[in-house]
Amino acid sequence: MFCRFTLIPDGNVLIYRGRSGDTYEAALLSFGFNPDAALVFHHERSLPQDKKIEEEEVDIFLTSSRG
C-alpha cells in the first residue's frame, strides 16, 4: 500500500509504504508526528486518523512543530 503525504504549508512530500489495513495515525507516528497535532485531508475533506489508508494522496496540516 502506498500513500503520498503532502505537508502543508511547506509542501514537503513524504511517501508512506505500509501494510494493508494501516491507518493514518500509524503513518503519522511512523514519520515522527504527533497525531494529536495533525489534520488529514483528501480533496478538502477531513479524514479521521483511525481510517484505513485507501487514498493515494493526502494533505497533512500540522498544528504544531515536529518533535
Q: Provide the number of structural domains found in the chain.
A: 1
Position 7 in a domain: yes
Range of the domain at 6: 2-62
CATH number reported for the structural domain that contains residue 38 in this entry: 3.10.20.90
Position 34 in a domain: yes
pLDDT at 67 over 70: no
Position 9 in a domain: yes
3-state class of 28 per DSSP? helix
pLDDT category of residue 65 using cuts at 50, 70 and 90: low
Which pLDDT tens digit goes with each residue over 25-48? 999 999 999 999 999 999 999 999
pLDDT, position 25: 98
Task: Tell me how far apart the alpha carbons of residues 43 and 25 are, in angstroms, rounded to a whole number.
Answer: 19
Position 47 in a domain: yes
Share of the chain above pLDDT 90, in %: 90
| Mean pLDDT taken over the chain | 94
Position 67 in a domain: no
CA angle, residues 25, 18, 58, in degrees to nearest 5: 55
